Structure 1
Amino acid sequence: MTHLHIRIVMATRNGAAFLPAQLDSFTAQTHDDWAVMAGDDGSGDGTPDLLADWGRAHPGRLAWAGPGPGVGAAANFLTLLARAAQAAPDAALAFSDQDDVWLPQKLARANDWLMANGAAGGAALIWTCRTVLTDQALVPLGESRRFPQPPGFGNALVQNILAGNTMVLSPAAARAVAGTVNTALECGVPYHDWWVYQVLTGIGARVCCEDAPLVLYRQHDGNMLGHHGPVRGRLRRLGLVARRDYSGWIGANLTALRRHEAMLTPPARLMLRAFMLARRRGGPALAAALPRLGLHRQTPQGDRMLRLMALSGRL
């Protein structure tokens, strides 16, 4: 085997304004062995018809399109992942937003790294890249940040640094996450990419963070999250902490992970159990446990905020 077949899973909802450019960027990929699976969460702007027309114009490229679960993007993406892993268990899997544009080398770069690191032999791997932030008209605004520390389970439990719109999973990694989807949906995990980061680092998967920006990440009023600069991002995070949203997200993730702890590496299993116990104790005990357990965000400022959340009962 010289390359992987890649299933591109894309959650859509009212994406007709930007979807054609993303579909065009798929057909421009230098890696030619791919097909799309799309789930639509009740669009009212003709998005399903646009996808169907594109599929007829590009035979063999639209492997499946149908209704999504209708309860948010995370559930849509995870449901699509499970469907793709069942339909094509030997395929790699790439997540795609409906409003981005991929540079032509994206899938080729992902494929080359996955193949070079054992994807064809069953290694659990995840490849990501940086993005070019653009305005609505795809005028570049800058590039996504570089994270100073390597990815790992101790980071994944309290922060997501892997952008879903760049992820490509090896076949084994896709199958591993697919086995957790029902639990993730039942527990209400908040973000599909954060969940993937936790599961795959928890089982010891190798992670590549490609430094080259290979996705044009379009910023517009309809973004589910979008990119946040230092000031806006900090204010948003403080608001989430004040409303205890972040604590609820952590709780949902931990509950789901506990139900799949048998698949985790022994160190990850111990870290998960210890974190859950420390959360029950709360306050100073939780704050003191964070560095001891290896739980950390990417910057000293982030770690200080994590400690304050623990002390105030918001972690």
Structure 2
Amino acid sequence: MAQSYPVELTAPDIEPYRKGNTGIEFVTSFDSGVPGPHVAINALTHGNEICGAIALDALLKQGVRPVKGKLSFAFVNHAAFGRFDPAKPNDSRFVEEDFNRVWVEERLDGPENTVELRRARELRPFFDSVDLLLDIHSLSTYSEPLMICHGLEKERDFAAQVNFPAYIMCGSGHIVGRRIIEYTPFNDPKNDKVALLVECGQHWAASSGRVAMDTAMHFLRVTGAVDPSVIDRNLSPEAKNPPKAAMWEVTGGITAKTDDFQFAEEYIGMEVIAKAGTPIARDGDETIVTPHDDCLLMMPSYKQGVGTRKLRLCKRIG
């Protein structure tokens, strides 16, 4: 059964950013006039994940500008966010389909016509121009925050420099389709483009708003895009000198085969199971066990239904 959580965050009014200045609604870019990378931060890839929108709203209101290269802020699936209702906060994840699964050229170039595909086609030239991207998300449980990269060496190196939050998870999302961070320009080992995805904690927990801003500041610190004073005034004291983040490899994913899927315990995510062969779930008549020692359980889902992604399994790197 899906769990419910209190909504402790207040969704910002993003309507003032609709026009933007790029010709794409809800995308605003600033050019320093000094050579440097095009750095971008995304919010609202999922319309009910509002912590990133809160962070971008704050940065835009502060008038943050780049000191080199370009800096862009994008409110991505604004159509889904427009349906956000704190009384029913789960209902606005997307309009027709998951925006973070459509980044496959065959679909972007194909004849299908959904709200999310149309928006992806609008945004595609923008993403093609971005060198360094942070995509801000949140989670369905009170899991510890985590950074996700597809796993290329350039991504691992950049994520290690960002070094926030405390977990860096590398590898496939074990999903159908592709996430923005796996869109071809970012997932090319021959270039220097990098896209990272941060999960800031439970969707509407007050702490996720803080983690969104802290992660954005550590990301901007590494890019060198803004004056250090921007980072100093926005970074929370507890996030100023984080310990070295642990890096994990996503080794597998579990998808429900039946409508009768039950976890062995009420996992929230980031639990580490010491021994291989430990039962962690039951799917109909099948018992699911950990495939290796020290197996981290990432992003458990309590949504029911055949084909639902239930969990990712991870092994520590190094």
Structure (1 or 2) with the greater strand fraction: 2
Is TM (by shorter chain) over 0.5? Answer: no
Provide TM-score, normalisation by structure 2. Answer: 0.28
TM-score, structure 1 normalization: 0.28
More helix by share: 1
